[in-house]
Structure 1
Amino acid sequence: MSWREHRRRAGLMLLATAIFVGAAQNAARAKDARLADLGEKAAEALEKGDTVAALDLLDEASDIVWREGPLAFRKALAVRSAEGFGDYVPRPDNRYRPGETMLVYAEPVAFTYEPQDGQHLVAMDVDLTISNLTGQVIAEGRKVFSVKTKVKAPKRDFNVVLSCPVPELRPGNYRAEFTFHDTQNAKSAGFSIPLQITETDQEAPQ
């Protein structure tokens, strides 16, 4: 290939990259403009005393963020029990005996609500990785958990409770990393929970 051909191809690649970056920046600016416009309209509605209209406009803005934002978690923590959204008892510390059940409460946001049979499907697979504090992976599994449920209408107050036995590892400090994969789009995100494994005969908090 000649030097001129190399130069021509390099120029085309740079041009394509510039076009892609420019398009992404324009899309981001358009998104920001939509959110700003909805916020201004909501403020105007509130000034007029129209609370319902203001909330509807903010809901529309929230829908944009939910749909286009990355998967994330409002809360993720170890718990002693969980009965529903916001209704949980945090675990006092992170000490567990091998074989003891570990309960994790999480509030994911920005996942997909897929219309299906007159309802909306939520579907996520969850991987689990146990590593020590140096980052060495001790145990891992893909699709250890499956979150699949249908709701009548999309809602913001959605929670997940994961339950798994603590592995038979020697006493020490570890991290349990939970990675969620939205099976209805390409969104993925995770969080980690500190995990201290104690001696088998050592009492852990209940």
Structure 2
Amino acid sequence: MMISAFRPAAAMLCCAALSFGLPAAAQAGDIAEKATLAETLLDRGYGGAALKAFDTSAAAFWTASPLQLRTVLFADAVDGFADYTPRGNSEFQPSDALRLYFEPVGFAYIEESDGFGAELAADLQIRTPGGLILATAEDFGRLEWQGRSKMREVHATIEFPLPDFKPGSYQLLLTLRDENSPKTTTVTLPFSVTE
């Protein structure tokens, strides 16, 4: 089993428990107003102020967003954020490892003495297309990010050996739980085992 979470500088972080405060949710109108202000400032030549207003709009969107995955796929290799080699197909041999790459969006942050942190818990389940559960790993791992600012370009990799399944079609369910808010998300990735 391998689980990793990376900062934009691609430094691997170890897992640790954090407690997060949950900011108030932004309203959709609030997001649009801040984005409009950014555009107006940019049109008038105030680049620095426009960037600050844009960042405020993006932060409001992030807070209001559900926990979701911008990208989630099987990968052959992962070298950093948006630096991965997608697997050519979702067919695996019984001795293969399953490697997931994903980019979470909308999780909560905690303010720390030297910046901000975030933590997600991951649950895995493998089932047949008909819904028969074959394997479950609740609280499979913890994914943690830390930085001096609220990073939005983060990714994670989860890798584990494929259980000894007979050839056929299967589904991998990945559930992420934000440890600092009530937000959760579940995605299903179909795959098959070949002879």
- TM-score, normalised with respect to structure 2: 0.82
Counterpart residue number, 1:100: 96
Greater strand share, structure number: 2
Counterpart residue number, 1:32: 28
Could you tell me how far 1:101 is from its partner in structure 2? 1.1
Q: Which has the larger radius of gyration?
A: 1
Q: Deviations over 1:143-177 (max 9, x none)?
A: 11211232222111100011111111111011111
Give the counterpart letter for 1:37 in structure 2: E
Find the residue that maps to 1:134 and give its secondary structure.
coil
Could you tell me how far 1:99 is from its partner in structure 2? 3.4
CA change 1:42–1:119 in 2 (3 A) is closer
Q: Match for 2:170 among 159, 171, 174?
A: 174
Aligned length, in residue pairs: 172
Could you tell me how far 1:120 is from its partner in structure 2? 1.7
Say yes or no: does 1:82 pair with 2:78: yes
Once superposed, what is the RMSD of the aligned Cα atoms? 1.8
Find the residue that maps to 2:108 and give its secondary structure.
coil
Find the residue that maps to 1:169 and give its secondary structure.
coil
Counterpart residue number, 2:133: 137
Unaligned runs of 5+ in 1: 1-26, 200-206
Which structure 1 residue ranges, 4+ long, deviate > 4 Å from structure 2? Answer: none
* 8 Å contact from structure 2 (residues 27, 64) kept in 1: no
Could you tell me how far 1:104 is from its partner in structure 2? 0.6
Equivalent-residue separation in structure 1 for 2:32 and 2:48 (angstroms): 19
Counterpart residue number, 1:164: 160
Say yes or no: does 1:127 pair with 2:123: yes
Q: Deviations over 1:77-119 (max 9, x none)?
A: 1000001001000100111122311111000011122112323
Q: Match for 1:50 among 22, 46, 52?
A: 46
Give the counterpart letter for 1:191 in structure 2: V
Equivalent-residue separation in structure 1 for 2:29 and 2:38 (angstroms): 14
* 8 Å contact from structure 2 (residues 107, 183) kept in 1: yes
- TM-score, normalised with respect to structure 1: 0.78
Find the residue that maps to 2:98 and give its secondary structure.
strand
Could you tell me how far 1:40 is from its partner in structure 2? 2.1
Paired-residue identity, % = 27
Give the counterpart letter for 2:48 in structure 1: V
Give the counterpart letter for 1:49 in structure 2: G
Counterpart residue number, 1:189: 185
* 8 Å contact from structure 2 (residues 103, 154) kept in 1: yes
